[in-house]
């Protein structure tokens, strides 16, 4: 049985699934790579690419120990505790 605390499921179109199969063969031509590992690999590549772009633009990323300013952290904490409807109204 799959551990629901570690994994989630996604649905993709048949066209996307077919593309993922092709990509899995391109990533590791001499081995079989599962579709889930292919998705994980592609997501990690995209995150790394985004972090490199942000660093090149002078932004700090979580990867290098970015900590949001205290003002933002307090705002998130204070607004997380407020309960209201979906529009934030009490």
Measured CA to CA, the distance from residue 44 to residue 9 in angstroms comes to 17
pLDDT tens across 44-53, in order?
A: 999 888 888 7
User: Can you give the pLDDT at residue 7?
Assistant: 87
pTM, to two decimals: 0.58
pLDDT tens across 34-86, in order?
A: 999 999 999 999 988 888 877 787 776 666 666 667 777 777 777 765 555 56
User: Can you give the pLDDT at residue 64?
Assistant: 61
| Tokens representing residue 66 in the block | 């970015």
* Integer angstrom CA distances of residue 75 from 23, 30, 61, 82: 42, 50, 20, 11
Ramachandran angles phi, psi of 26, nearest 5°: -70, -35
Measured CA to CA, the distance from residue 81 to residue 25 in angstroms comes to 47
pLDDT tens across 9-31, in order?
A: 889 999 999 999 999 999 888 88
User: Can you give the pLDDT at residue 59?
Assistant: 72
Measured CA to CA, the distance from residue 5 to residue 53 in angstroms comes to 32
Helix axes 14-27, 35-56, angle to 10 degrees: 80
């Amino acid at each position: 049985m799959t551990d629901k605390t570690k994994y989630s499921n996604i649905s993709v179109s048949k066209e996307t699934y077919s593309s993922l199969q092709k990509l899995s063969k391109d990533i590791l031509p001499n081995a079989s790579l599962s579709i889930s590992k292919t998705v994980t690999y592609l997501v990690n590549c995209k995150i790394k690419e985004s972090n490199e772009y942000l660093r090149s633009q002078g932004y700090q990323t979580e990867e290098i120990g970015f900590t949001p300013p205290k003002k933002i952290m307090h705002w998130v904490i204070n607004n997380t505790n407020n309960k209201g409807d979906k529009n934030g109204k009490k």
